[in-house]
Amino acid sequence: MTKRFFGTDGIRGTVGEYPITADFILKLGWAAGKVFGGKSDERQQILVGKDTRVSGYMFESALEAGIIAAGVDVGLLGPMPTPAISYLTQTFRAQAGIVISASHNPFADNGIKFFGADGYKLPDSVEHEIESYLDEDIRTMASSQLGRASRVVDAAGRYVEFCKGTLPPGFSLKGIKLVLDCANGATYHVAPNVLRELGAQVETIGVDPDGFNINRDCGSTSPEALQQAVLEQGADLGIAMDGDGDRVAFVDHTGALVDGDELLYIIAAHRHNNGGCSGVAGTLMSNYGLETALGELNIPFVRTAVGDRYVIEAMREHQWDLGGENSGHLICGDITTTGDGIVAALQVLRVIVDTSSRLYDLRSGMTKLPQTMINVKIKKRVVLEDDPAVCAALKHAEQALAGRGRVLLRPSGTEPVVRVMIEGEDIKQVEQLAREVAAVVELAVA
């Protein structure tokens, strides 16, 4: 059964445009309260956190009111990374955690993501159950049965200690100079403390959120400022988070970007060399060079649909501890239940310290195939696979690559775009084919 509101990563859109409106989010909070509050006769709690968007204040209040009306208590976390809310949901024994965030999108967007009591994203069955209540009128509990709201004390401090605790006792980053870009987002008050308390010399950018500058010319989706800062500071490396802290990208000492595929390889190879990597889950967007490099180490690799929930499903199915996306969503299943930018960054830093190697050298074990992706904006969902011109363009591109590359056409689950991705050995050919296919897609969606 098709879901009406939930996408691959919660509910997301432009603030003020249905369903990202105060009245809808109020009812969503009530619906969530009805679903999670009915799990037991005992009083239940739902945690609510957010990133730094100005609209977060409005949606925090709306969710709070809806959940309380359903008779469920609310724990307010304030600005916190998405993975921190997953972790705190478990440690507080809450029935659910709700994140107000549009992740890497600009400030004008926002969204709602859910975690269950186990710290994992909700299964489809629970999302359907929540949506079923959205067709009903809000029925407020009697005053004696209303929920209560409270501010969670030192939520950030609890998460900082958790992150540090994912490393061996005595682990130190002393002697490492790095630049940290927090995207003016949810990690601005957490990530610098984690790295400094571990002994690193940390220079920061993107740590002054004002409600409007989240992800703007900063963070993992816009790493140019970080690349420049690493060179100017003479740093050993740079680390970039995205707006809600579930993605990470690195920059080596030469200013070159190191993406999620390369970081995943670095972690996997180190674990393999120490007897601890049974397999890796990637996605359709994972570079073929990752698959090849893992194959050379005899590490099994599978591809899933795009989205960290699908990566996690594959990891759990195969009982593997490692997976991720080239966007920087990296999941260390033996440590966390979701993509965590800080935890993943610490795992990469652990490899650097353990091997006394530079990031530049560690990434050399994997050779990426040239890849070009073009985002074609769309106004509504269209079935491009039924368009004869699009099918012909895709077939031409595949024939041109002659089995030595990949062609992928995929609608985004979080943005109103269709992604055209071409991968092959010749960068000029790859770029030309991507432009050709994108031009045909633009005509098809016009």
pLDDT of residue 385: 83
Specify the pTM: 0.92
pLDDT of residue 2: 83
pLDDT of residue 386: 85
| 371-445: CATH architecture | 2-Layer Sandwich (3.30)
Give per-residue pLDDT as tens, 248-274: 999 999 999 999 999 999 999 999 999
CATH code 3.30.310.50 region(s) in the chain: 371-445
The Cα-based distances of 300 to 211, 281, 297, 316 in angstroms read: 43, 8, 9, 14
pLDDT of residue 413: 72
pLDDT of residue 397: 95
pLDDT of residue 9: 87
pLDDT of residue 381: 72
State how far the Cα of 299 lies from the Cα of 272, in Å rounded to an integer: 8
Sequence-distant (≥ 6) Cβ neighbours of residue 437 within 8 angstroms:
374, 390, 393, 394, 397, 407, 409, 420, 422
pLDDT of residue 335: 97
CATH code: domain 11-153 is 3.40.120.10
> How wide is the angle at C-alpha 53 spanned by C-alphas 47 and 59, nearest 5°?
50
- Return the amino acid letter for 150: S
pLDDT of residue 323: 98
CB 248 within 8 A of CB 344: yes
pLDDT of residue 179: 98
State how far the Cα of 254 lies from the Cα of 170, in Å rounded to an integer: 29
What DSSP string describes 357-406?
Answer: --HHHHGGG--PPPEEEEEEE-SS---GGG-HHHHHHHHHHHHHHTTSEE
pLDDT of residue 103: 95
- Return the amino acid letter for 298: N
State how far the Cα of 282 lies from the Cα of 348, in Å rounded to an integer: 17
Q: Are strands 257-258 and 248-251 parallel, antiparallel or unpaired?
A: antiparallel
pLDDT of residue 414: 72
State how far the Cα of 433 lies from the Cα of 413, in Å rounded to an integer: 24
Fold of 159-365: Alpha-D-Glucose-1,6-Bisphosphate; Chain A, domain 3 (3.40.120)
Residues in the chain with pLDDT values less than 70: 1, 39-40
The residues carrying an active-site annotation are: 103
pLDDT of residue 446: 81
Maximal CA-CA distance, the chain: 70
State how far the Cα of 425 lies from the Cα of 186, in Å rounded to an integer: 38
pLDDT of residue 154: 92
CATH code 3.40.120.10 region(s) in the chain: 11-153, 159-365
pLDDT of residue 404: 82
Would you state the torsion angle of the CA atoms of residues 161, 163, 168, 172, taken in this order, to the nearest 10 degrees?
Answer: -90
pLDDT of residue 384: 86
- E strand or H helix at 316, and its extent? helix 308-318
